[in-house]
Every structure is written in structure tokens, then in C-alpha cells.
Structure 1
Amino acid sequence: MIIKNPEEWKFSRGDFATRQFMTEEYGTALQSGIAPSPISSHVVLYEVPERVDSLSVKSGWGDDDSFYYIGAHGRVDSKSPQHPEVDPFGNPSNKVILTAWQMGRPLHLMQGERMFRASQRRYRYVESLVLDDVLEERSSEGWPIPIFRLTPVDKITHTPGVLPCPSNSGQVKIIPVERHELICSHSGISSLATLRPEAQLEKLLCLFLVRQGHPVSRLQIRHTKDCSPLFTDVWVGSANLLIEAKASASRDDIRQAIGQLADYTRFLSKANHAILLPNRPEKDLVKLAHSRQAALIWPNEAQSWESSAMWLSTLGFRFQGA
């Protein structure tokens, strides 16, 4: 039996869906353009190609490779002229976008087809996005309108400093994961054939996390003067999560991963731990990892991902208990 997991984002670039389907899967509103899911962390942004001639910035992709999304306006109530103009940034819908990063809520853009009947319109999944900046313009009627400049998550995976460094000691540095190493613009994945087994597994996991709206990076740890630094496998800053990848689910590999995580996390502030494996290990090894506060992650036959810890479901992993 497949357990429905609304935290798992089910779409790849180019997939189509109706708003009714999105409502059934994620509980999002049928009408609102900014539609936060009440049953998961995901926020769906619906965009229909339309012209707003009074704005200098148009909805859609800009020359800077950012997507410009027009938010809810701060319309003045014409029937109550004594009321002051509404601040657009106080609008609950706009607040969802403004606070998404701090709240750990991925923003997913769905772009609609041009159709006469809106009820029949399908939406194409475009990107998982992160707020980069906010602009404000005025409509021809004088209403303030926020315009959100959004950046693709896979583009910021290579930007150090987007997330705060997990340590104040100066010994830890966020290391870029270059976009071309992670994403192929056409298929969404580059060739894995030449990579080591654990590197293949790591890259597939990173692609999944990026699709869920979580930028990935690595950490460089300078532990001892005049010694070579340590480099971690995967750092998910939005979840304060350090992941160590292994090529097998054997006892030796899991014990080694536990030791490496213990070494790395001495230099981090309250980091969560997880071990990435090619398959689910036996129960005794699950207990071993949990005794060291390390969760386990592995792929399943349905090309999705599972974990041994309930809290990882917030990243889209299906919880599989004992």
C-alpha cells in the first residue's frame, strides 16, 4: 500500500496538472494565485500569461534569469474612502512569499495555458523558486502592487552565504555545488555512469531535494592547523541537516558513517544527522544509527525516497517505521 505523503513534491519540470488535482493532492485553494498548502510546507504560485500594461515589469522570465511574479495588490476600498490604503505587504497572500524561506516553505511555480474557460485550464510545473528581491509599482488606478523577483533553487545551490554558516567558529565554510554538476538543462540529470556508487546516490538525492525546494551545498571544515580540511557530502541548510553517503548498507559502512558524522558535527551548531544508503538496512543497523542520533535515507523501487525518521517527512521523504 502506498501511503500518501503531501510533503513529497510529485512534479518534474514540464509536468501538467489541473487546479482540481493540486487541491486533491495538496489542499491548495482553487482560486487564489498564491496558494499555500494547509497540509504540507509547499506553496504553489499559479501564473497565467497576461498583460498588465501599467507596469514596467511584466510577469514572467526576465533577462537576468529571474522570474517576476506579480503579487496581490493593496487595493483601496472605493466604497469606504475614509479607509487608508492597504499595505500590499501586509496582505496574507504576499506574506506567504515574503516569509517562505524563513518558514522552510518551498515555492513552486505552475504556469497556466491561455484558455477561454479558466475551469479547463491546465498548469505546467516550471521551477522551484526562492525569493530574491521585492519591487513595488503602481497600477493605473494607483494601487500599490508588489512584484516578487524569484530565483530557481538549483541556481542558488552554488551561491555561498545564501544560508547562514552553521558555525561561528570560522572553521566551517559553505562550499558551492556548481549548478552544471547537479542539473542538466534538458533532462534534469547529467550522466551518472562515470561516478562512484556513493556519488551517484548522492547526486540523485540532491536532485530530489532541489525539486522539493531545498538548496544543497557542502561544508569545508578546518579542524587542525596545517592539516588538510575535511569535506562533507551533502549539507541541507534549510533543515540544518548533514548527510553522509555510503555505497552499501553494510555494518562496516554504517559504522564508518556514524564516526564521520560524529567528527564533522563537533564543529557544527546543533546539526541534524542522516546517512544515505542504496537500500534499507537490517533492523539492528537501524537501531545502531538511531542510537547515535543519525537517521537513515534510501531510495525505493518507485523512484522515490524513504527514511527511518518521521521528522524527515518535512523534506519529502516517506517515513518507514520498524
Structure 2
Amino acid sequence: MTTTVDLVPGLITTREAIAAAYGCGTFQGIEPADDAGKVFVYSDPSAGEEYGYTFDGRAEDDEFGPLYLYTGAGANGDQKPSGRNGSILSHVEKQRELHLFVAHGRVPGGGAMQQRYIGQMVVDPIKPYEVRRAPGQNGVMRSVLVFRFRPAEGTTPAWTEGDKVPAATQTAIEVTDPVNDVPAPVVLPKQSGAKAKKTEQHSTAETVADIPAGQRKVLRREGELVKAFAAHLAAAGHETHSFQITIKGEPGALTPDLYDATDHVLYEAKGLTTRANVRMAIGQLADYRRHIPNSKALRVAVLLPSEPTADVKDLLGEVNVELVYQADEGFAGWPLLSSQP
């Protein structure tokens, strides 16, 4: 007799039950079930805490809705976007559903870990993952992939307050490489393999994972802008990277767009040249610079896809923020005036 598991958000089950029903493994955090057209992801935030990082969990909503962060596969060394991690990145392309579980204590009277089914997810189509710095099982710092999941359209995730990303235990700054990969646009799948609880109230913010097409273009433009400028700096012999800034008592991390180590300049990029975007960038840079080493000598700059208005330029000048924008040939405003020989 075939074992079945009804994937209803909030279901308490085990890996063994999922494996018996869908034909996947039971030992890894990412378990593809090729024949069933699914990828099962098992999140256990306590496992990361043992090694000194707390990335897994329900993140703060952004302007596009809810997010769940999940640390990828690979115990030691830099994690790669291939193998089991690749099965997450390619799940839309391969038309596989992505299902998220969170560890939920031990089976009463037994040793197996229970799993609470959160719901069907999709990897964020614009920024599928962030690169963070964290120790491996061997204690050596390395780069890990922190995937960004959004609820599949039509679902109500069964997460709770306890599923939020834990607050950092200390303030720290780690050097990272900027993520310059700009993923191709994808069409998010509608949920099909999971059922919503009939008793739950559905709200747009909690059930729609789709990012408006216009906003997708803006975010892609921002990613492409950073990628092009990083290449421009590299061609000039400049060393670039970024930072991961964790703040004691706060969840998540601050992740500036780009740092030019050669000239000690921190850049914040925006995909639209508007006053609102520039004002946001000014605030972000003011927050970031407080935590950067040698902050008194640090210069900050806004990176834009086109030239802003004269008044916006005046605003940047009054708050001592440099301006670089993409021009027909290269980048106007670079090298920064004080960097020129």
C-alpha cells in the first residue's frame, strides 16, 4: 500500500514519512524528490547556533512581502550554488515544487526529529540568495549561501513567532564578496502540492509571492549596475568586496552593496534615479559607515543608473555623499574628485 502524506501547512510529520511518500532521502537538509517533482527543505535554526550563526528563520517583511531565510548545504568550506543548493536555485526551471519544514522537537517516546510543515515556497526570483560569512563545523570561517524563500502564490505559511530569525548575540563585521549574479527573470509557479487550512484567513501580504514586473526590472537594474561598476573598478586595478554587519540584539545583517578597498569608499546602488531612492541610500550609508573600520576616513557614495536632478545633486553635496552614475561611456563622477591624481 502506498503511503500518503497530505501536505497541509501546520502538519507535524517526520522525514521518514515524507521519504516514504515521495521517494527522497532522509539525512540532508535539502532532499530532491525527482519523480515526485518536488524539493524538500528541512530547516533547523538550532543547528546553526551550535556553530555560531543564526541565519535560518522568518525574516522581516520587505516591500514585496514575507521572507524565510535558509542556510544552504555544505558543512565546511565555501558553499557553492550547485549540487543540492542547485536543486533549490533550479526548482522553477525544472518545474519542481519547493516545500519547507522546520524542526519541531523529538517524537514522543522516540529519538526521531519531528518536522512542522511551513508550506510551499519559491526562491526569490530577483535575489535568490545572499552570501554570508559563518564558521563551518571545523570552526574555519567560510562563505555560506542564505536562500531567500517567499510563499508560493495562494498559500498561507504555518510559521509562528518562534520561527523568526534569532537576534545576533554580538556586534560583528565580516568581509564578504558582493553578489553580482543577476538571475534571469522567472515566472513564479502557483501552489499545487500543498493545501491551505480552511480555518485560516488569507491576506494578500501572506499569500502572494509574486513581485510586480516593474519592481523586478528595477531590482534587476540595480544588480546589473553593481555588477558593471564592480567590473569597472576591477579593470582599474581596484580591490572590491562588501561587508556583513551583524548587530547585537537584532536579527539578520546589514549588507552594503559594494566597498572599494583601494580608495576606502562605500557605495550604495539604486535601480531608479529618484529623490526617494537617493534619500533612502543616504540613510543606509549613514547607518553602514558607523560600523566600518576607519570610518572617519571612509567616504560614501551613491551609485545611480542615470544623472539625477540638480537639486538632488545639491542634497548629496550638503550631506557629504559622493555621486557616481552610469553614463554612455563608463561612469560619471568616477574617479571621485579626491581620488584623482
> Scaled by the length of structure 1, what TM-score is found?
0.39
